Structure 1
Amino acid sequence: MKPTRLLATGLIASVFGLLGVTTTQAVTLQEIKERDEIRIAIANEIPYGFMDLSGNAKGVGPEVAKHIAKKLGINNIKWETAAFGSLIPGLKAGRFDMVAAEMAILPERCRQVLFSEPNSSYGEGLLVAQGNPMKLNAFEQFTEGDLKIAIMAGADQLEILQALGVPGARMVTIANNADAISTVATGRADAYAATSLTVAELAAKSNKVESAEPFNDPIIDGTAVRSWGAFTFAQGSEKLQKAVNDALTQFKKTDQWKTILQNDGFSSADINESFQKTTAQLCKAS
């Protein structure tokens, strides 16, 4: 019977492959506890989740994740770094158990992965050349003319710009935030769209660029755009998701959680906003 079963399995896998169907490698909380190690991915983005020069995981995602792991009785964390656009594929392939990159909860992503309740909230920003020669202060300015705006592959800003009607021909896609300064400074793009926190971090690294000030928040369907970041899991990992949610809910009631966000540059408004939306609401948003 074994050869027949193997043949049948191979045929099924071949059919799924031809149809473009991929399977998700879910992990259970029990499996993680048995190995006493959780594999957590970050995208090396300051201040959301990054590795410092000593090889330590830093940022709001990792700092909160460390507390949650301890609460769940997990003693070891194996940190993985990946390009932002590889985080969801990595979860699906089982390369890591959880993502702590403060990934924004979006309906399209909710169809692919599971999210915890929000851990953070943040707004948008623009990185421009020093002196802001093009007088840029809004995403909407890129809907007409020849101005070009850079975005990171896989980032939320693509959906925002598309919703605003910015043509794809005016978008320049870069692999990671590290390329943003040179992209803007050399004129490959007139600005780089990212979250306000990311823009501030990049602007502090070079005197060739600056944050666009004042910046006008993009308005979509009459509402200013704001993102809610959360921990992310593969579909099928509902027990792990629930355990993290329970621990996160309790931790968000403490001053320690608030201090972590403040130390990573989140404002009082950002902190308060993190309580204003649920994952269910954000996953259903149009």
Structure 2
Amino acid sequence: MRRTILKLAVSAAALFAVSPIAAAAGPLMDRIEAGESIRIGFANEVPWAYPGEGNQPLGFVNAFALGVLENMGYDNIEPVVTDWGGLIPGLKANRFDIITGGMYILESRCENVAFSDPMGVFGDAFIVAEGNPMDIQNYQDILEKDATLVTGAGFNIVEVAKDEGIPESNIMTVPGPTEILAAVRAGRADAGGVTYFTARNLAEQSDGAVSVTDPGQMPEDTLNWVGIAFRPSDQDFLEQFNAAMNDYLGSEEMLAAVEEYGYTEAQLPGDDVTTEWVCENR
């Protein structure tokens, strides 16, 4: 289900529907109380979060975040599209207020942003030339075959590849998925590291030029949880968001909103996984 962005003022009831013991108002709450929009930042990452006509926020993470915000009473939303590598710097520089791009919760990122509770769990995969001529299934295959891995600047794949022993000289970074696909198609890289959802989408775009490796062949610790990212100074708003998210996550309303993008009950994060645990273990 796609939502049209409405430029309506937030109702007074929504503005003051906060806990009496909530933290001091952060910059985002100040914006809302001044009648300004909530700015959501995302890149062009199909099917996670991407712009449609007029920068309409599409993708299942955008659909999820908009659903939570709508249930909180907020519908004055402004989309801001940027490169993936510009998401965290843009949030910190106050160019937008929330990252809805489908960002993995990682220890290195937890040092810079405050994540919501997890909204889904996902694995990674590689795109390779059709037929997988080098028989690449995981990072050790890339290492042993001296293959070149391409991935996006700022993607978690960069950290994982280095942790798996792949030298920097074998890691090519590009702005995003379009360039990853181009590098593999042109033979400049032997494998493209992305999320499994993104890999499937790139394979569909490639007209049979690339295929997707089995995500089950990847290390278990590459399974990742996604959260919505906020500035640490907006802890008051984050607490409200988590409370509304608790009611929305896994609901019929939520699953209907994300269905067209391929998110299913299988991607629900589980009740026993907390953001604190993920920050410490990923």
TM surpasses 0.5:
yes
Calculate the aligned-residue CA RMSD, in Å. 1.8
Q: Does 1:196 align with 2:192?
A: no
Q: Is the 1:38–1:76 contact (alpha carbons within 8 Å) kept by the matching residues of 2?
A: yes
Q: Structure 1: how far apart are the matches of 2:82 and 2:88?
A: 10
8 Å contact 2:196–2:215 — kept in the other structure? no
Residue aligning to 2:152: 152
Aligned residues: 257
Matched, 1:212 2:212: yes
- 1:1-286 alignment to 2 at 5 Å? 27-53=27-53, 55-219=55-219, 223-271=220-268, 273-285=269-281
Q: Which runs of 5+ in 2 are unaligned?
A: 1-25
Q: Distance in 2 between matches of 1:285 and 1:73?
A: 34
Note closer, same or farther for the CA distance 1:103–1:214 as it changes in structure 2 (3 Å cut): closer
Single out whichever of 92-101 and 60-69 deviates more from structure 2.
60-69
User: Is the CA contact (8 Å cut-off) linking 2:122 and 2:223 kept in structure 1?
Assistant: yes
For residues 225-256 of structure 1, give each alpha carbon's deviation from its aligned partner in whole angstroms, at most 9, with x where no partner exists.
Answer: 21111110112110111111111111014112
CA drift of 1:30 comes to 4.1
AA at the equivalent of 1:278: T
2:15 alignment counterpart? none
Q: Residue in 1 aligned with 2:8?
A: none
Percent of residue pairs identical: 27
Distance in structure 2 (CA, Å) of the matches to 1:125 and 1:138 = 8
* Structure 1 residue 34, shift from structure 2 partner: 2.8
Higher mean Cα deviation, 112-121 or 27-36?
27-36
The verdict on how the C-alpha distance between 1:266 and 1:70 changes in structure 2, with shifts beyond 3 A counting, is: closer
Quote the residue 2:7 is aligned against: none
* Cα distance between partner residues in 2 of 1:75 and 1:60: 17
Q: Is the 8 A contact 1:184 1:209 kept in 2?
A: no
Larger CA Rg, structure 1 vs 2: 1
Counterpart of 2:114 in structure 1: which amino acid?
L
- Tell me by how many angstroms 1:32 deviates: 1.9
C-alpha distance in structure 2 between counterparts of 1:33 and 1:131, whole Å = 56
Q: What is the Cα deviation at residue 176 of structure 1?
A: 1.1
Q: For 2:207, what is the secondary structure of its paired residue? A: coil
8 Å contact from structure 1 (residues 118, 275) kept in 2: no
Could you tell me whether the CA contact under 8 Å between 1:64 and 1:257 is conserved in 2? yes
User: 1:151–1:172: 8 Å Cα contact kept in structure 2?
Assistant: yes
Using the TM superposition, give the Cα deviation of residue 197 of structure 1 relative to its aligned residue in structure 2, in angstroms. Answer: 0.3
When residues 274 and 262 of structure 1 are mapped into structure 2, their CA distance, relative to the original with a 3 A threshold, is farther
* Structure-2 residue corresponding to 1:23: none
| Contact 2:123–2:215 (CA under 8 A) maintained in structure 1 | no
Q: Cα 1:81–1:274, aligned 2, differ >3 Å: closer, same or farther? A: farther
**Unpaired segments ≥5 residues, structure 1:** 1-25
> Contact between 1:43 and 1:84, CA under 8 Å: does it hold in 2?
yes
- What is the one-letter code of the residue matched to 1:217? Q
TM-score (norm 1): 0.84
